[in-house]
Structure 1
Amino acid sequence: MSVFDLLDAELDGVGRVLDDVTDRQWHAPTRCTGWDVGALVAHMGIGIGRVVEFAAITPTPTAEHAPSALSTTTVESRRERRKRIAVGWSPASIAG
């Protein structure tokens, strides 16, 4: 059984569970602070969509990067970008 077969089976199971979720349950809180069931399921859907997109990418040879590619400036820039992304993906931001 391939990874994709396993993923399909898991998604079928999740779909069956979600089919039985009531309107009231969609708005119930989860263990993820600030996220209700609907927001968490939407987040999972986005993640699964990315898995499918990445799986369709044709692999390329590994690039060799110069040590300068990991300069302090680059690392700090990436940290700041991650912080902005985290804020943009917060439940409040997603809800609009």
Structure 2
Amino acid sequence: MWVEDWAPRAACRAEQPDKLFVRGAEQNKAKTLCQGCPVRTECLAEALDNQIEWGVWGGMTERERRALLRRRPTASWRSVLETARNQTRETVKV
């Protein structure tokens, strides 16, 4: 199920925001905050659909997100990610 008000559930909610807006190797440390986050998909969709240029969102750096946006510039990322998550859950049930 998609979580509309995802920010209060984010694993990073108690962290200093500056930890997610870093450069270089520090981005890999920031991405670890996203591992196991219950709303990682919603966070990533927000960043992609709104073309947020800075910071780590949903476990992806701005460079990684730009690469996705180049591949599918007109996609509704919420739809893409929600569908992929649902398909993964269905596969796991089988």
- Fold shared per TM-score above 0.5: no
Q: The TM-score by the shorter chain falls in which range?
A: under 0.3
TM-score by length of 2: 0.27
Q: Which has the higher helix share?
A: 1
Q: Please tell me whether Structure 1 or Structure 2 has the larger radius of gyration of its CA atoms.
A: 1
TM-score by length of 1: 0.27
Higher RCO, 1 or 2 (CA under 8 Å, sep at least 6)? 2
